Amino acid sequence: MFKGRHFEPSVILVCVRWYLAYNLSLRDLKEMLAERGVSIDHSTVHRLGRPFCPELAERFNLRKRKVTGKWHMDETYIKVRGRWMYLYRTIDSVGDTVEFWFSEHRDLPAAKRFLRKALQGHHRPERIVIDGSQTNREAIIACDAENRLLDRSRRELKAIRIRSSKYLNNRIEQDHRRIKRRVRPMLGLKSFSSAALTLAGIEMVHMMRKRQGRFAFNPRPTLKEQFEIIAA
Per-residue pLDDT tens for 91-134?
999 999 999 999 999 999 999 999 999 999 898 999 999 998 89
Could you tell me if 129 and 153 lie in one domain? yes
Residue 52 CA to residue 192 CA, distance in Å, equals 17
Could you tell me if 40 and 146 lie in one domain? no
Could you tell me if 35 and 128 lie in one domain? no
Could you tell me if 128 and 168 lie in one domain? yes
Query: What does the pLDDT read at residue 45?
Result: 74
β-pair partners for 164: 130
Q: Please answer whether residues 230 and 2 qualify as being in contact, where contact means their C-beta atoms are separated by less than 8 angstroms.
A: no
Using pLDDT thresholds of 50, 70 and 90, give the confidence band for residue 179. very high
Q: Is 176 a member of any domain?
A: yes
* Average per-residue pLDDT for the chain: 88
Q: Is 79 a member of any domain?
A: yes
Q: Is 36 a member of any domain?
A: yes
pLDDT by residue (tens digit) across 68-81? 999 999 999 999 98
Q: Please answer whether residues 37 and 197 qualify as being in contact, where contact means their C-beta atoms are separated by less than 8 angstroms.
A: no
pTM of the model: 0.90
Q: Please answer whether residues 38 and 11 qualify as being in contact, where contact means their C-beta atoms are separated by less than 8 angstroms.
A: yes
Could you tell me if 78 and 161 lie in one domain? yes
Cα atoms in the Cβ-side hemisphere of radius 13 Å centred on 96:
16
Q: Is 225 a member of any domain?
A: yes
Q: Is 168 a member of any domain?
A: yes
Question: Which amino acid is it at 4?
Answer: G
β-pair partners for 75: 88
Could you tell me if 44 and 97 lie in one domain? no
Q: Is the pLDDT of residue 206 over 60?
A: yes
Share of the chain above pLDDT 70, in %: 96
Q: Is the pLDDT of residue 10 over 90?
A: no
Q: How many domains does the chain have?
A: 2
Q: Please answer whether residues 15 and 49 qualify as being in contact, where contact means their C-beta atoms are separated by less than 8 angstroms.
A: yes
